[in-house]
Chains A and B, each alone.
Chain A
């Protein structure tokens, strides 16, 4: 009656599943948005650079929690009734597009200017030189920090609990409200997050070491 049983564990694991689903959605949508932000940041048109810079400043200057509330209430205001998953996914998309855009911009700009110039002398269009010359090189550098950011992403999906989306943190809250064993319930929730995030952190670190080793030899 008053103990933590298998039923509770299954409930938490179900929450974990939704955490993973939301993270995947956020990564996919945020990745598309982040690519656009990156393109804007390196654009030759000044107004595009300013626009994307302003977007990044606004998103990185406000808490994700506020972005969640704005999306949740904002869509309601616009007269669109959306499920909590969609509101949360859209807020996570805006959040991650700004951060991914900045990470990727850094990677693209770390590719030598001579590479751009070489592509230009070969009469490649700007788009061709980006896709065929710059991005393949930038992608290698971008992988470790992107995996590192996915860890942030998974952790930050926990804020979707405030708009009532039943992911891992919300599930833990629900169980804790009936059992009131916070150390146990939130401890297990933390362990589940750790089980997802720690391997990703290690992977990111390994990728980075490999990349640096390659550079040292070169």
Chain B
């Protein structure tokens, strides 16, 4: 069996590939930004003195982390539309992604917060910093600084996860690929091209996070940890 590769058949679709990649990037940026907020809030809730808050955050985190994303996105997308709540597909995708990545982020950030020595918090209290200042400057930012590499990997994984949004027919990179391959019957070639585009986005993301890390955490650079 000899198979003739024909990438030329895909040439007319280059614009579609690029627009798909762009949607993937948009989904990723929106979900990382919002997921970070949810994650930090849940990490704080997990360490709070209120038992009920701890439990709620714990149940959320464990439920999300122990079920597949594809089931979560079906649950949200088809579930909401079954009770008459219709929203644009991309919104539903971002909603599901944020809920998903928020739980993973919470666990990572919490690990960072647990690693902050208690003496530092007491020192901040002794200096008369407000509770908000302590959380922002002594707990959250140093915690994120500590777990920054783990967060970066998690967000790259999340970018790859956005491909699952194609299953609710979002027009991101994989969704676009599914359309193109059914138009051209060149499925193998299509998915090779898309795979390469994903690798490109992965490198782009790693570079972006490296750059953000340099600007956001100058201390790590001075300590020579980067």
Chain A contacts to B: CB under 8 angstroms: 57-58, 60-67, 69-70, 73-74, 76-79, 151, 155-156, 158-159, 161-162, 169, 172-173, 176, 180-183, 186-187, 189-190, 193-194, 197-198, 201
**Closest-CB distance, B91 to chain A (whole angstroms):** 17
Of chain A, the residue at the smallest CB distance from B203 is A61
Let me know if B66 and A197 touch, CB within 8 A.
Answer: yes
Measured CA separation A77–B201 after assembly (Å): 27
Q: Which of B153-179 contact A (CB under 8 A)?
A: 160-161, 163-164, 166-167, 174, 177
Contact of A169 among B63, B71, B82, B177 (CB under 8 A): B71
B60 within 8 A of A: no
Let me know if B191 and A198 touch, CB within 8 A.
Answer: no
B129 within 8 A of A: no
Let me know if B191 and A73 touch, CB within 8 A.
Answer: yes
Let me know if B163 and A66 touch, CB within 8 A.
Answer: yes
Interface window among B72-80, B113-121, B135-143: B72-80
A180 proximity list for chain B (CB < 8 A) = 78, 82
Let me know if B66 and A193 touch, CB within 8 A.
Answer: yes
Most buried by B among A61, A67, A79, A189: A61
Let me know if A61 and B67 touch, CB within 8 A.
Answer: no
Let me know if A198 and B66 touch, CB within 8 A.
Answer: yes
Q: Is the interface of B mostly helix, strand, loop or mixed?
A: helix
B3 within 8 A of A: yes
Let me know if A65 and B174 touch, CB within 8 A.
Answer: yes
Let me know if A66 and B68 touch, CB within 8 A.
Answer: no
Let me know if B3 and A78 touch, CB within 8 A.
Answer: yes
B69 proximity list for chain A (CB < 8 A) = 155, 158
B74 proximity list for chain A (CB < 8 A) = 169, 172-173, 176, 182, 186
Let me know if A65 and B166 touch, CB within 8 A.
Answer: yes
Contact of A182 among B75, B160, B181, B203 (CB under 8 A): B75
Interface window among B7-15, B30-38, B43-51, B192-200: B192-200
**Closest-CB distance, A108 to chain B (whole angstroms):** 20
B16 proximity list for chain A (CB < 8 A) = none
Let me know if A186 and B195 touch, CB within 8 A.
Answer: no
Let me know if A159 and B164 touch, CB within 8 A.
Answer: yes
Let me know if B75 and A63 touch, CB within 8 A.
Answer: no
A186 proximity list for chain B (CB < 8 A) = 71, 74-75, 78-79
Most buried by B among A79, A186, A187, A193: A186
Let me know if A190 and B195 touch, CB within 8 A.
Answer: no
Let me know if A162 and B167 touch, CB within 8 A.
Answer: yes
B181 proximity list for chain A (CB < 8 A) = 73
A201 proximity list for chain B (CB < 8 A) = 62, 65-66
B82 proximity list for chain A (CB < 8 A) = 180-183
